[in-house]
Amino acid sequence: MLKRKLELREARVGIIGLGYVGLPLALLFSEQKFRVTGFDTDAAKVEKLNDGRSYIVRIHDAAIAQAQKTGFKATSQFAEIAEMDAVIICVPTPLNEHHEPDLSYVTRTVESIAPHIREGQLIVLESTTYPGTTEEVVVPLLERGNPGGLRVAQGAEETGVHVAFSPEREDPGNDMVKRHDIPKIVGGCGQAAAELATAMYCSIFKRVIPVSTPAVAEMTKLLENIYRCVNIALVNELKQLCMKMGIDIHEVIEAAKTKPFGFQAFYPGPGLGGHCIPIDPFYLSWKAKEFDFVTRFIQLAGEINGEMPYFVLEHIADALNAHRKSINGSKILVLGLAYKRDIDDLRESPSLTIIELLRDKGATVCYNDPYFPTVGRGRHYDLNMTNTPLEDLGQYDAVIIVTDHSSYDYRKIVEESQLVVDTRNATKGIASPKIVRC
């Protein structure tokens, strides 16, 4: 019985997709003495992990070595799925060039594992996606791809393979909430799947919240991220109004935060970044079309947040103009590539857009970010740049703070620069005519 094996930590756990979500999850299971196998199509990641090395800054090599002591290993061989008791899928769910869900990583994964799944196994999808994915996409693909005709167990019956959805709630860079303290939502295809998934996550999370269906769990994750996306858009819009009115939005937010109920603080910035907030809401907008429904809040928030790098560009132009300079021909240093403070993730980062916009306007752009020695080519950018040391700041016509890494000495940066454009309120408390906040 899988439930008993899970309770005794005898179940073997397979994690597919060893990225920002999958690798920490694998380590969490290892900490609880589960024997974990990580699956990834990226041979370089597999090799590094098996050498005891990490490729995520906040995960130290020692944590990999420790996990190896309880049997952790990585592989690209999907046939080994057959040896697992539980399999968790954590592969990317980006948008395609038409801003529509790209489920190809999920479907490819399910097609790769379908021939190897077996009776009694538990398969859980953790990748963020639209409601209906688990039951409408994952289940049929698993059943179709299994040569033995294995079915997905439904209801309370225990025969077949068990399938569930459980959203990931990782908050990179947040050291205040420990991973095992983040409550885990679980929605199973049937009661047996829900119970098994709950039993599995209870061994690594303090609190597991079962919901009635995978679709409820899928929608829960989207609600959480849409809530953030819409509220960030709201403060981004109010920031623009406040600037026209000569009011400091950050002072307003700090004052509003003192209300002990009914208000949660969100902060304006140069635009959204990361693999979640700029992307996930559009998974729902796309699905809504099937129901002839327009998600207006999501659209509006997407518009406002998407315009923020252009808003920053305008303010850089104005700031340079006040110094009798133009963007064209200026030498500009962008501080921070990561999409948020103190992390090594630049996916969808507004810095990348701002750098490209500045270059398009004829600026010579350099960047500094302690987390990225170089930046090459990604899905939406092609920069080919190398980190510039944080020195001789006077040589730049403007220094733009796009990511407020805590390792920066902002007072020193302001002292040494000709002009600082601050998009994050990182220079709070520093009074200088050189600073333009936007």
Q: What are the catalytic residues?
A: 276
Cα 43 from Cα 63, distance rounded (Å): 20
- Please, which residue, 112 or 418, has the CB nearer to ligand NAD? 112
Contact between 173 and ligand NAD per CB under 6 A: no
Query: Buried (b) or exposed (e) across 58-81, using 16+ Cβ within 10 A?
Result: eeeeebbeebbeeebebbeebeeb
Which residue stretches of 51-151 are H helix?
Answer: 61-69, 104-113, 133, 139-145
**Shortest distance (Å) from residue 359 CB to ligand NAD:** 26
Q: Are 167 and 128 in contact (CB under 8 A)?
A: yes
Cα 232 from Cα 203, distance rounded (Å): 35
Site for ligand NAD in 265-304 (CB under 6 A): 275-276
Contact between 17 and ligand NAD per CB under 6 A: yes
Q: Which residues contact residue 193 at a Cβ distance below 8 angstroms, ignoring those fewer than 6 apart? A: 122, 153, 162, 163, 164
Site for ligand NAD in 95-114 (CB under 6 A): 105, 108-109
Burial of 260 (0-12, 13-18, 19+ CB in 10 A): exposed
Contact between 350 and ligand NAD per CB under 6 A: no
Region from 15-23, 199-207, 362-370, 414-422 binding ligand NAD, contact rule CB under 6 A: 15-23
- Please, which residue, 228 or 275, has the CB nearer to ligand NAD? 275
Cα 282 from Cα 171, distance rounded (Å): 20
**Shortest distance (Å) from residue 319 CB to ligand NAD:** 33
Cα 285 from Cα 31, distance rounded (Å): 38
Contact between 313 and ligand NAD per CB under 6 A: no
Cα 333 from Cα 398, distance rounded (Å): 6
Phi-psi region of 125 (alpha: psi -120 to 50; beta: other; left: phi over 0): beta
Contact between 50 and ligand NAD per CB under 6 A: no
Cα 343 from Cα 366, distance rounded (Å): 20
- Please, which residue, 38 or 336, has the CB nearer to ligand NAD? 38
Amino acid at 387: N
Contact between 397 and ligand NAD per CB under 6 A: no
- Please, which residue, 158 or 348, has the CB nearer to ligand NAD? 348
Residue nearest to ligand NAD (CB): 19
Select the residue interacting with ligand NAD from 6, 40, 184, 200 (CB under 6 A).
Answer: 40
Contact between 184 and ligand NAD per CB under 6 A: no
Token pair of 127 as six digits: 């990748």
Contact between 348 and ligand NAD per CB under 6 A: no
Region from 20-28, 229-237, 261-269, 422-430 binding ligand NAD, contact rule CB under 6 A: 20-28
**Shortest distance (Å) from residue 52 CB to ligand NAD:** 17
Select the residue interacting with ligand NAD from 85, 135, 158, 168 (CB under 6 A).
Answer: 168
Contact between 339 and ligand NAD per CB under 6 A: no
Contact between 16 and ligand NAD per CB under 6 A: yes
First to last CA, the chain: 59
Contact between 42 and ligand NAD per CB under 6 A: yes
Task: Enumerate the β-bridge partners of residue 364.
Answer: 331
Cα 284 from Cα 298, distance rounded (Å): 9
Contact between 130 and ligand NAD per CB under 6 A: no
Region from 165-173, 226-234, 297-305, 379-387 binding ligand NAD, contact rule CB under 6 A: 165-173
List interacting residues with ligand NAD (CB under 6 A): 16-22, 39-42, 45, 90-93, 105, 108-109, 127-128, 168, 170, 172, 275-276
